[in-house]
Structures are given as C-alpha cells and as structure tokens.
Amino acid sequence: MSDSEFRVIADSNNKPGVSIEKDGVHFGCYAAGQEPPTLILYKRGTEEIAARLPFPECETAGGLYTMKLELRAADYEYNFEDEGEVFTDPWAKLVAGREEFGREPDGSPHSVRGAFPVKKYDWGGDKLPQIPYDEALLYQLHVRGFTKQKNSGTRKKGTFAGLRDKIPYLKQLGVNQVRLMPVYEFAEMFPKFPKQGAGSVAGRTNPKGDPEPGLQSGSSDNEPDAASTLSPQVAKAMKSLDQYRMNYWGYGEDAYYFAPKASYAATKYPDVEFKDMVRAFHAEGMEVILEFSFPDEIDFCRIEQCLSWWASEYHVDGFAVMARDTAVAELARLPLFRSRKLICTWYPDALKQGRGRLLAEANDGFMNDCRRLLKGDEQFLRAFSYHLRSNPANCGRINYMTNHDGFTLMDLVSYDRKYNMDNGEYNRDGSDYNYSWNCGEEGPTRRRDIRALRMRQRKNAFVMLLFSQGTPMLLAGDEFGNSQNGNNNPYCHDSELSWTDWGAARSNKELSSFVQEAIAYRKAHKALHQENELQCMDYRSLGYPDLSFHGERAWYGDFEQMGRGLGCMYCGAYAGEDDFLYVAYNFNWIPQEFALPILPKGMSWSVAMDTSRKISFIPKEEQEALEDAKAFSVPARTVMVLEGRKRRRNRAKEMVE
C-alpha cells in the first residue's frame, strides 16, 4: 500500500501516543527539532514497512505533533522517526517485538514497535474490593519468577495466566493483596560496557544505578568507552563473557510504562490476559497493586497519565511508586488517589491530613529494627514496641521483614554475609547491612539443632510481622523456605536462583502451615489489626489500657539496654472482643520469666501458641491453663501467645460440692 492510500483527517486531539477513535486513529509525537517527525507503519508482526507518513506542520505547544489516519489498526504496528532516529512511542499502549523474555537486541531500529490494543473487553460487573489497610495482607511477587519453576503447578509458567492459576493457593494462605514487581514493558538486556559513563546505557543508569564492576568513579560522557577504564586484567576477563547483562527485576529506565509486558503473557494479547487476571483476583475479593519505578527525568504529566491509564483500563487497585520526592507529593494530591491506594516510602506530614486511609508508607524502618532484635541485638526493644503499634490515622503503614531487594527469610537465618559473585560484580553489589544471623553455621546444614533453630527464628519473624499493627507484607516463598543461596541482589538472574522454589513448599509444610495459621489468627483477633493506632492508655475507663508492656514485673516493660524480652497485653474490649491477648517475645538465648497481669474475675490465662513447638498453634481443647499463675517462663528465642478468657466450668467439681 502506498503512502497516499492512508488518508489524513482533521485531528483535534492534543495528547501524545495513540488512541483509536470512531473516525480514525490518533497519533501524537514530540519532536526534538524544528522539523515534523515521521510516522512509520509496519505490517503487523513484521519489520516490513508499509508506509512513512510525515506529520503535518501544525505543531502544538511543547513540540507535540499530531495527526489522525483512517486505518484498520489491527493490521499494523508503528514507530516514529525524528531527526533520523527511529524510536518506539514511549506512550505506546502495547509493544511488539519483545515477546521472548531475555532475548538480546538484534540492533535493528525496527525490531521493537508500538502496537494497537484492538480487542474490546467485557469486565462483567467487576468491582474493586476496596480493602482497608488494617484488613489487608500484602504479598509481593515477581510475575515471571513466581510460576516459572518446574514444580509451580501451572502449565502457563511465568505469565499472568500462570499467576491467575495460583489464586487458590494465595487465598488459602490468607493474603488478600498482591504487589507485583514491574509488569510494564521494559528492556531485559542492557550492555555491560556502556559508552556514556560508568553504569549507563545510552545515557541511562543500570537498574541498580551503580557503576559496572571495575569502572572508575567520576567518569563523564566526554571520556572514552567505559570498557577502556577497566584494569587490563578485569577487561580481559569481562570481555570473555556475553556483552549483555540481564535486568530481571524490571527497575531500569528503558521502559514503556503504559504497556503490559508481552513476555509475561501466555497468549498474543497481554492486555486481555492481564485484565483476565485482575478480574479473577477481584472475584475472590483480592486486590492487585502494581510497582512503578520512574526515573527523575520523566515529567509528571507522563507519570500521572500512566497511573490513570492502568487504573481506568486495567482496574488495578493501587500503586507502589518509586519516584522523586516532588513527584510523590504531587501524586498524593491527585483525585485518582481518592479511590486508589498509593504506597510510597515517605510523605510530608501536611499531605496526610484529610486524605483518608488511601496513602501508605513502606520503608525499611520496621525491617531493619526487627531483624536486629530477632538476631539478639541489644537496644532494640523500644524501637520494636513503637513499630508493633504504629498505625497513623491519616496514613497506612506497610511492614515487612523481607522484600525483593535483600535476603529471603530463609537466607536471613542461614547466612552471615552475602554471596553475590554470580552477579558479575565481584560481590560488591547488594547491601552489606543485612542484620542476619546464620544460627551457628554458614549456609545449608544437616545439623538438626541448627535446622530447628532456623525454623523457630522464621516463625518468630512471622509473628513479629503478622502480630504488629499496620499492613504486613510477605515476600513470595518466605512461607515455605525459598532461598537464593545467600544472594541478596539477584536482579540479573532469570534462573532457578531467582525463581520461587515450589519444591521447597512440599518439603517445608511445618512453616507454611504455621504461616497460614498465624494469618488466620491475626484475622480472628481484631486487637492485632485495629483501625486506629493503639494509645497504651485506658482512655475508655475499662480498667486496662488498649496495649500494655510487661517484663519480669507486670506493667513494667524492660526497655533497658540489655533487654531482649517484651510482654505485650492487648485488651480485646477496645476492638469489640471479650478476650485478652498476651504476646511474649523472648529474643534472648536463655529462657525468660514474664509476669502475668491479674485478669478480671472469672478469667484465666491459657497458652495458645508456642514457636518452640513443632505444632505451634495449640488446639483449644489441648491448651494449658495457667489458673492462678502470676508468671510463666518462655524458652530461649521463642514467642508465646496467651489468651485470657473466662474459665471453663468444672461440672464434676460442682456436682461433688
């Protein structure tokens, strides 16, 4: 078909990107120079150029050129050309040419192309679950890695459809939100030897923002190729390797933020498959939160329109956004986040006022303090007491012990140091501050005592997380012992190392059963996840505060420097419940005595959970009653839960009397 056969019609749309309208297809493209850019049309699924059509001379504000064509969009794909450079539309709603994950670029400027979303979708009355943060249980996962392993239990491995197949597992576990690492279209491969300064790819930093190994700091765009700054020995070794490095996580800058990732789809229609997945989650009362990482140079207008597109077109429930502070502040003010959740690392206090509970903060504060206390460091009880009750009125709080960036929970209790040599950065990447403890031997072990201690420590970590106020976030696979062999930064691995190990799920049922029961216990006791922040005061004149701290003496928490044990008593009446809960944390390497407060008349304590036991949650009919006990002992490195409730009537004793 010749260029003249594509009829250009009047266009009043002044937006970048592509939109299919009743009378034609709108195209909008920003130009860097004074001349109009060119639209390149390809036959669908090929690099064969069907037409080159210059944009009309009518430039709008900001260098945006637009035109509308009479076009059967389903037959074509497109790119733009400006000042001799062919590029893919950064506003593209779909991207063709990246259907195979991890394929190295072939160098052709036409290999990646914009595509048109042409299939209409029937949402069938889909509704957002709108789960409040105090009722939410978040689960972070990588869409490809979650089901890519051979034992994942789905035939559509590494895809949106594969994740949909795992909804029954997630529902049985008890989580009701999934937080997905980047699912927008990004480049998985980037050069190891960038040409524009250390750690850059065509002027962009690598996914971790760090120089490649051996590169000198302070290099500039005016210096020679980055590879030439390597020492001769390192250069010789590196050049023997492949010339590209993997961006498995997806946090790089070479991204198309409006398009669902084609290689995460089992079908030819990633947009439809993603919508099917979201609708399936919603049907089970579960929310979908998407992660977005925006580099500083992306303008706010593009960020706003991107998130609005995913909210309206894909019905997602919220976003976890990594962006510059000024962009975050502007996002929090958008009307979009009066109905959708927004999770960032921090907000100015002024922004939180009057915003309801749709904003939430997620940062490493809880993780770092709780990890140090878990391993037995001193001086962290007071910090822990703050975290377990922190739940601000105008902003949600997301707590986690692990996330994608760092050790898994299994590795946290198995390694004292990181093992990142496989990343090709000479073990210099990844955090050096993991606050981990190997429990007596580095890495895998056959020693039963160490294996038992590691199991107990992981149970303790889950209790710290799940029995704190706010929203707990679990890392996929932690509930059954997923390991990365001590690698705390596997951003460049698409392999068994980074995939969720479902084989471990079959051999680690003690832990997965415990996590499932702990989640159910949290849900069953509103005192552990209240809507309002606990005050540690008796503000309702009930005779007990909502939360109180205890140690060897009742009502006196031991916050001294050497303290490693804390008793936390919750008065259920503040949450509309009749019972009391007493959670006793002992992070010491020796047993510790805890004093028991006196309960109202007719009530007594009984042991409901003990992480030192193989079956940690004790059935009610088997629970040990502590009738008139004034204290009890908690084993070393153990968490116990006591329930204070009305005594059972002893009918045999009553008959004798």
Q: What average pLDDT does range 98-114 have in this prediction?
A: 91
Lowest mean pLDDT segment, chosen from 560-569, 579-588, 641-650? 641-650
Q: What is the pLDDT of residue 394?
A: 87
Q: What is the pLDDT of residue 650?
A: 53
Secondary structure class of 217 (helix, strand, coil): coil
- Distance, CA of 264 to CA of 281 (rounded, Å): 17
Tally of residues, the chain: 657
Give the whole-number percent of the chain exceeding pLDDT 70: 89
Tokens of 110: 């036409």
Which residues on adjacent β-strands are paired with residue 594? Answer: 632
DSSP string, 113-167: EEE--------TT-------GGG--EEEE-HHHHH-STTSS-SSTTSHHHHHHTH
Tokens of 581: 């809960």
Residue 228 has pLDDT above 70, yes or no: no
Could you tell me which residue, 93 or 348, shows the higher pLDDT?
93
Q: What average pLDDT does range 137-154 have in this prediction?
A: 97
Residue 386 has pLDDT above 50, yes or no: yes
Give me the architecture of the 527-653 domain, per CATH: Sandwich (2.60)
Tokens of 413: 């209790």
In 184-313, DSSP assigns E strands to 184-186, 189-191, 200-201, 204-205, 244-246, 255-260, 287-293
Which residues on adjacent β-strands are paired with residue 66? Answer: 28
Q: What average pLDDT does range 354-381 have in this prediction?
A: 90
Give the whole-number percent of the chain exceeding pLDDT 90: 77
Residue 605: pLDDT band by 50, 70, 90 thresholds?
Answer: very high
Nearest Cα residue to 39 out of 73, 50, 306, 24: 50
Q: Do domains 145-188+249-362 and 527-653 have the same CATH topology?
A: no
Lowest mean pLDDT segment, chosen from 134-138, 221-225, 469-473, 516-520? 221-225
Could you tell me which residue, 299 or 240, shows the higher pLDDT?
299
Q: What average pLDDT does range 196-220 have in this prediction?
A: 35
Residue 147 has pLDDT above 80, yes or no: yes
Phi, psi of 652 (to 5 degrees): -60, -45
- Distance, CA of 298 to CA of 300 (rounded, Å): 7
pLDDT digit string, tens, across residues 153-196 = 999 999 999 999 999 999 999 999 999 999 999 999 887 754 44
Q: What average pLDDT does range 215-237 have in this prediction?
A: 41
Residue 565 has pLDDT above 70, yes or no: yes
Residue 503 has pLDDT above 70, yes or no: yes
Contact 175, 520 (CB under 8 A): no
Secondary structure class of 437 (helix, strand, coil): coil
Residue 393: pLDDT band by 50, 70, 90 thresholds?
Answer: confident
Q: What is the pLDDT of residue 354?
A: 58
Phi, psi of 331 (to 5 degrees): -60, -45
Domain limits of the chain? 3-115, 145-188+249-362, 189-246, 527-653
The mean pLDDT value of the chain amounts to 89
DSSP H or E stretch at residue 24: strand 24-30
Q: What is the CATH number of domain 3-115?
A: 2.60.40.10
- CATH level 3 topology of 145-188+249-362: TIM Barrel (3.20.20)
